[in-house]
Amino acid sequence: MTAAPHKIPVRPLEAATFAPYGQVIATRQVFGQGVGTHKDPSTDPEEARLVLSEGTPRLWIMHMGQIGTRFSRIARHRRTTQCLGSVDGTEWLLGVAPAGDLSDGAKPALGDIVGFRIPPGAIIKLHLGTWHAGPHHQRAEARFLNLELMDTNEADFHAVELGVECAYDL
């Protein structure tokens, strides 16, 4: 008999509840180039705080087949922030846990992993070291914007096995 999966609680995406893991990229009203009053992004606390100074940034669109809503590995990036968002209207799920201990042997406690339901059109930024699993979705295929570093998957990819299958508690 196969063990039942560990259930991951799922929360709606809200800036306050996502804050321990990253930032929700806010939609900004603009009036066109040089038109209207604009805030200074360097002093705006809602502006995404990106860390892309450890290499060459890479902005690309991931084309993913059906991923499903279960996982047994979780990963993090300790040198760069990462931004993710659906570009094709897909609602998706992301499992996250706080960065915690940044050493190579560390891994998150199962009880620290929570899920977020990310609505279409939303983009999130993960803090340095935030553990994440996903994006997960149930469509036949989906496309996601991904902003990271050119060498993130080779030089800054710390993944661990959780020792159990996790499933979002939908």
Q: Is 37 part of a structural domain of the chain?
A: no
Which tens digit of pLDDT belongs to each residue from 38-54?
A: 677 788 888 889 999 99
Based on the structure, what is the number of domains in the chain? 1
Q: Is 33 part of a structural domain of the chain?
A: no
Give the mean model confidence (pLDDT) for residues 157-164. Answer: 96
Pairwise CA distance, residues 93 & 111, whole Å: 17
Pairwise CA distance, residues 56 & 36, whole Å: 33
For residue 29 the two structure tokens come to: 């009203």
Which tens digit of pLDDT belongs to each residue from 89-117?
A: 999 999 999 999 999 999 999 999 999 99
Q: Residue 114 sits in a domain of what CATH number? A: 2.60.120.480
The distance of Cα 6 from the centroid of its chain, to the nearest Å, equals 20
Q: In this structure, what are the phi and psi dihedrals at residue 118, rounded to the nearest 5 degrees?
A: -100, 120
Contact 127, 48 (CB under 8 A): no
pTM: 0.92
Pairwise CA distance, residues 157 & 106, whole Å: 13
Give the range of the structural domain holding residue 105, as residue numbers without chain letter.
6-26+49-169
pLDDT of residue 53: 95
Pairwise CA distance, residues 116 & 11, whole Å: 5
